[in-house]
Chains A and B, each alone.
Chain A
């Protein structure tokens, strides 16, 4: 079966510690061996929080993020969904509608196991995460050769896969081509995932020797040539 369910979106695959990892253009990671979908930094409810603080940003970002997540689940049929922290952006004044929306969403994916590696934004969200009816919450999730955390762990027990940084890189080319793109950074001992939420920014990270960088270029995840330094 095609990993991508026949859609025109083109993922990339890497082998890490003997496992195949699929890097999805929707800014998520899939582990076929564990049938696990991994999503970092969705920042649900961020638009609402902004509006509550008097900043009129458009509606629809959280709904869109949940919809994209549903599409991924319908296509890949994972057994588990692991959030790598910053599930919500912060505590909102009127949680009702958001909680109901997530509750409905959870109803559609009732059989799915959902786990959370807690992040800095997850403290003090006033129990919003309960709407996801989480099957497990921890600072770190060890699974197979991997240790999943929100912030990159300095000395993890296994291969660390983390989010938090919203990584991006700058690409340059002849004719002064230049693009800043969100990316996956796959290093020898750890990996970074891009932020999943559409209303999240990026931070340019310096590529290191030995890292493999995969950028999200429209509908494709593309490997970029390594740094020769």
Chain B
């Protein structure tokens, strides 16, 4: 972007008085603009784009909002008193949109700027959407998905003709996910229409802030400005430990043992957030708190992504208005910090990552210059080590980077259809346009053409599908929509968030509580009681794809499990854990956490060894289940699983065998009903990096990993349609499962690029090829400590109980089946 192309700036004194008005606004609130806010406003005025990064809650919103507001105050007013769309505000969570809208609208009104600020998300009423189709407000708060939808209606370019700036809020949340790519693509389109567009990202501090800006700005990155919020808040990370006399159980879960200590702190606080890592944990802790303190019934609540939106909004409002003293929540409340400060933050379970822990801690002491404090509650003993590692890393500023998504062809396929339905496109121009994004900067023309074929004639150039139509080339050479049915369906499936098939839960009276996964629902029988949305519910029946329930008085019932969202430990934190263990191996137990976990590490040392730096621990043992081999690379679950699959594949090449692989953040387990040969581990040959790529590809394809990844890809690329809400039946004929499609593609069109993408994604996102290769080199060079333990050690036990497994086999299916028994489970997989 060249700065000479920006609109002329009105006379300086007009701007000076606008700035004075804004400064007055700050003074009236007892604040003073920070330097970084001033810098952002000046940069905006100069026509620049960039990224503002700062810890949570120190005024990034105002840094981005007052730039365009001051321009208006200073007299830059094309379109008069009610201008067409000038500012587009992209937020990752539609739950945040309403709060953001209020904050922006209030600030504008305070400064007598007569702008309308509206939301447009999946929650927006259709009447409002219809009105917006004719005319957009001066400022629009929306999500990447809804922005893409806006582009899918004809006349999009005209609607954005007055657009001056785009703000992408919580960019760190979007970057590194395919949703970020949706935003990148939409921005490339807007940049083309409005070459002088100012694009500003707001981000928490990342390990790779420069890269984050480059991804956001795409082709305009060279001229971007990085604005750094220079108000460091101090951060205190503490653990809630069991009293000294009480020992940690060496294996399994601590469960709710620490509840009394947690309750004490909640009682002493005005307001508290208790973060858990899973929705099930949220339900468990909520129930436990209610049982211990029934008098808090009206003053505590729970919040997670499967609850009904209305219920979640009520909780958010309760927190904001101070009616609630505590909310048990998942990542669903990670964002939106500007609106709901609390004075106590508790993290239940592993912190998983340093940035994430800092973000959550930032919810407390939510004023510039104040201390953020977070209390960590371990759910099993080894998590104490993670807390100690996180504290050391946070103090040293070792925050994780977010890696951008590169070349996701499924997202491109979806986007090309989106744009075709809107104003249409000419292939040459479109190719250049998408290459203006960071994600597709290195897109090959052949890949682009393939995707274009894929969405127009159905792909496979040698055998085009005559009956297939989605978008088509018009006589004028542009691609556009052909079929209203297809268009309507596509608009329903815009987005990249893939969730497990879920069905709504309703009271017989009709009140909606939220959704649970079908796999859980399918196991319920009438009369069964389960816990959901903080209530005990009796299952009545499933009808009209709804699970009908009524309240139950029964004391006990299972809690639904939701798959997905299992965060792996970040690389940095995993390395931190290795480091802490190394200290422990040398007898250094400096932090309270390590002192608390010492008896368990002593047990580990007695039965096996504590791996020090430069050592690789390999444990073997036998049980009723078969022969177990545990390897501990400490690389986070995804990489451990990758190394596990690779190791298993290489083992199966030496002799016919079948191995089940399980992994956690510390290591992986190989389990077989036959003895596992140990000699390949003695000389590290199994970890060598020769033929690494081909071996990994083979292991990905032999295991279920590629198939798993294909699930997401097939949904985004429009192969699997999740159905119209409430109209499921009409689309039943084209309902199918991703795993069936995977089989059909693998057999009839093995060259399909989406299949290849599944493999590539497993390699890059899941297996993190580069990291895996580096890990293997480290492991091959490490001193291997092979121990026959005779029993499960404290390090091995948590992996062993993991039920999610992938399998690799070099035996014929027939041979395996002969050793198997019928299982009684039921599950639909049509």
List A residues at the B interface (Cβ < 8 Å): 47-61, 64, 89-90, 92-94, 97, 166, 168-181, 198-207, 213, 215, 217-220, 222, 224-227, 229
Could you say which of B458, B673, B827 contacts A204, with CB atoms under 8 Å apart? B827
Contact call B740/A175, Cβ cutoff below 8 A: no
Q: List B contacts of A47 (CB < 8 A).
A: 744
Closest to B673 in A: A175
Contact call B823/A170, Cβ cutoff below 8 A: yes
Could you say which of A57, A97, A171, A207 contacts B741, with CB atoms under 8 Å apart? A57
CA–CA, A83 and B672, complex, Å: 42
Contact call B747/A55, Cβ cutoff below 8 A: no
Q: List B contacts of A222 (CB < 8 A).
A: 814, 817-818
**Candidate in A53, A168, A215 with the most chain B CB atoms within 10 angstroms:** A53
Report the minimum CB–CB distance from A106 to chain B (whole Å): 22
Contact call B822/A224, Cβ cutoff below 8 A: yes
Contact call A56/B625, Cβ cutoff below 8 A: no
**Candidate in B483, B747, B748, B812 with the most chain A CB atoms within 10 angstroms:** B748
Contact call A55/B721, Cβ cutoff below 8 A: yes
Could you say which of A64, A90, A94, A201 contacts B733, with CB atoms under 8 Å apart? A90
CA–CA, A107 and B179, complex, Å: 53
CA–CA, A120 and B458, complex, Å: 29
Q: Would you list 9 pairs from A and B whose C-beta atoms are within 8 A, ordered by A residue?
A: A52-B467, A58-B749, A173-B820, A176-B660, A177-B658, A177-B673, A201-B829, A224-B821, A226-B822
B473 at the A interface (CB under 8 A): no
B463 at the A interface (CB under 8 A): yes
Q: List A contacts of B485 (CB < 8 A).
A: 53-54
B373 at the A interface (CB under 8 A): no
Q: List A contacts of B468 (CB < 8 A).
A: 51-52, 54, 56
Contact call A174/B829, Cβ cutoff below 8 A: no
Contact call A177/B822, Cβ cutoff below 8 A: no
Q: List B contacts of A175 (CB < 8 A).
A: 625-627, 658-660, 671-674
CA–CA, A96 and B486, complex, Å: 22
CA–CA, A90 and B734, complex, Å: 10
B501 at the A interface (CB under 8 A): no
Q: List B contacts of A173 (CB < 8 A).
A: 673, 816, 819-821
Contact call B752/A58, Cβ cutoff below 8 A: yes
Contact call A172/B460, Cβ cutoff below 8 A: no
Q: Which residues in window 102-143 of B have CB below 8 A to A?
A: none
Q: A176-B805, A218-B813, A219-B814 known; A54 and B469 CB under 8 Å?
A: yes
Q: A217-B817, A222-B817, A225-B822 known; A51 and B467 CB under 8 Å?
A: yes
CA–CA, A227 and B825, complex, Å: 12
Could you say which of A60, A93, A224, A225 contacts B467, with CB atoms under 8 Å apart? A93
Q: List A contacts of B791 (CB < 8 A).
A: none
| Range class of the B interface residue count | 35 or more
CA–CA, A131 and B814, complex, Å: 38
Contact call A56/B820, Cβ cutoff below 8 A: no
Could you say which of A53, A204, A217 contacts B814, with CB atoms under 8 Å apart? A217
Contact call B829/A168, Cβ cutoff below 8 A: yes
B792 at the A interface (CB under 8 A): no
Report the minimum CB–CB distance from B346 to chain A (whole Å): 36
Q: Per-residue CB proximity of B729-758 to A under 8 Å, as 1/0?
A: 000011011001100110111001000000
Closest to A166 in B: B830
Closest CB pairs A-B (n = 9): A175-B673, A58-B749, A58-B748, A173-B820, A175-B626, A171-B820, A176-B660, A56-B458, A174-B673
Q: List A contacts of B467 (CB < 8 A).
A: 48, 51-52, 92-94
Could you say which of B625, B817, B827 contacts A224, with CB atoms under 8 Å apart? B817
CA–CA, A89 and B734, complex, Å: 10
CA–CA, A48 and B817, complex, Å: 34
Contact call B817/A171, Cβ cutoff below 8 A: yes
Q: List B contacts of A50 (CB < 8 A).
A: 734, 736
CA–CA, A90 and B730, complex, Å: 13
Closest to B819 in A: A173
Q: A58-B745, A89-B733, A177-B658 known; A229 and B721 CB under 8 Å?
A: no
CA–CA, A226 and B824, complex, Å: 11
Q: List A contacts of B807 (CB < 8 A).
A: 176-178
Report the minimum CB–CB distance from A138 to chain B (whole Å): 24
Q: A94-B467, A204-B827 known; A54 and B822 CB under 8 Å?
A: no
B303 at the A interface (CB under 8 A): no
Report the minimum CB–CB distance from B95 to chain A (whole Å): 31
**Candidate in B455, B458, B468, B745 with the most chain A CB atoms within 10 angstroms:** B468
Q: List B contacts of A171 (CB < 8 A).
A: 817, 820-823
Contact call A206/B824, Cβ cutoff below 8 A: yes
Contact call A201/B736, Cβ cutoff below 8 A: yes
B797 at the A interface (CB under 8 A): no
**Candidate in A50, A200, A219, A222 with the most chain B CB atoms within 10 angstroms:** A50
Contact call B719/A57, Cβ cutoff below 8 A: yes
Closest to B733 in A: A90
Q: List A contacts of B827 (CB < 8 A).
A: 170, 204
Report the minimum CB–CB distance from A212 to chain B (whole Å): 11
Q: A172-B820, A172-B821 known; A59 and B718 CB under 8 Å?
A: no
Q: List A contacts of B489 (CB < 8 A).
A: 53-54
A50-B734, A54-B485 provided; 7 other pairs, C-beta below 8 A? A52-B469, A54-B718, A56-B454, A172-B823, A173-B819, A218-B814, A222-B817
Q: Which residues in window 466-485 of B have CB below 8 A to A?
A: 466-470, 483, 485
Contact call A61/B824, Cβ cutoff below 8 A: no
Closest to B456 in A: A56
Contact call B816/A179, Cβ cutoff below 8 A: yes
Q: List B contacts of A181 (CB < 8 A).
A: 817
Closest to A168 in B: B829
Q: Per-residue CB proximity of B213-251 to A under 8 Å, as 1/0?
A: 000000000000000000000000000000000000000
Contact call A169/B625, Cβ cutoff below 8 A: no
Could you say which of B733, B745, B821, B823 contacts A49, with CB atoms under 8 Å apart? B733
Report the minimum CB–CB distance from B69 to chain A (whole Å): 44
Q: List A contacts of B830 (CB < 8 A).
A: 166, 201-203
Report the minimum CB–CB distance from A91 to chain B (whole Å): 9
Closest to B824 in A: A206
Q: List B contacts of A61 (CB < 8 A).
A: 744, 748
Report the minimum CB–CB distance from A124 to chain B (whole Å): 10
**Candidate in B489, B745, B817 with the most chain A CB atoms within 10 angstroms:** B817
B465 at the A interface (CB under 8 A): yes
B3 at the A interface (CB under 8 A): no
B5 at the A interface (CB under 8 A): no
